Amino acid sequence: MVLVVGPSGVGKDTLIAGAQKAFRQDERYVFVRRIVTREADVEAEDHDSMGRADFEAAEARGQFALSWQAHGLRYALPLSAATDVVLGRVVVANVSRHSVAPALEKFPRCRVVQINAEIGLRAERLAARGREPRDQIAARLARDVVPLPDAARPIMLDNSGSIANGVASFVLALRTIAAQIEQK
């Protein structure tokens, strides 16, 4: 299980999409769509939407590999993600920092990739999305970052450069993780 974390605007979805394209012929890699309790939005990040009541019922039935709450929404990874981990695949998911501690308990070999970018660039990216006014962007940028647990030992990637360089760095990190899995 590879958890991709980082503040808004660092390009997590962009790097994941680039890696997914790079590994489209390699069955060892699985890129998981999150389930989120909000309406699907073509402009928003890639996710499957579910109403809160349906989400809570699915969670009670044990249909999620991992679930968490952040920013007033509920998030989950489908149970198929846990199956893929058991089968030895590299499962890549964009998650909140709030999910890292429970994921480390559930998936002992879990790895964390923390994406960062310069704050000015993050502000530009968030403004370019056109989803929220400048005051909300400023609040998002000023939001306190939840610290990762010490056990996370994240792989740190800076995505302040070109998309191509960011994707290449991320793909290299995933290949390194896959090689470590194969050695064990």
Residues within the annotated binding site? 6-13
Give CA 170 to chain center in angstroms.
12
Q: Which residues on adjacent β-strands are paired with residue 115? A: 157
**Three-class secondary structure of residue 136 per DSSP:** helix
Among candidate residues 107, 140, 111, 110, the one with its CA nearest the CA of residue 123: 140
Q: What token pair was written down for 34?
A: 């999150």
Give Cα separations from 66 to 9, 34, 58, 75, 79 (angstroms): 24, 10, 12, 8, 8
Binding-site annotation: residue ranges for ATP: 6-13
Among candidate residues 101, 119, 103, the one with its CA nearest the CA of residue 93: 103
Q: Which residues on adjacent β-strands are paired with residue 74? A: 69
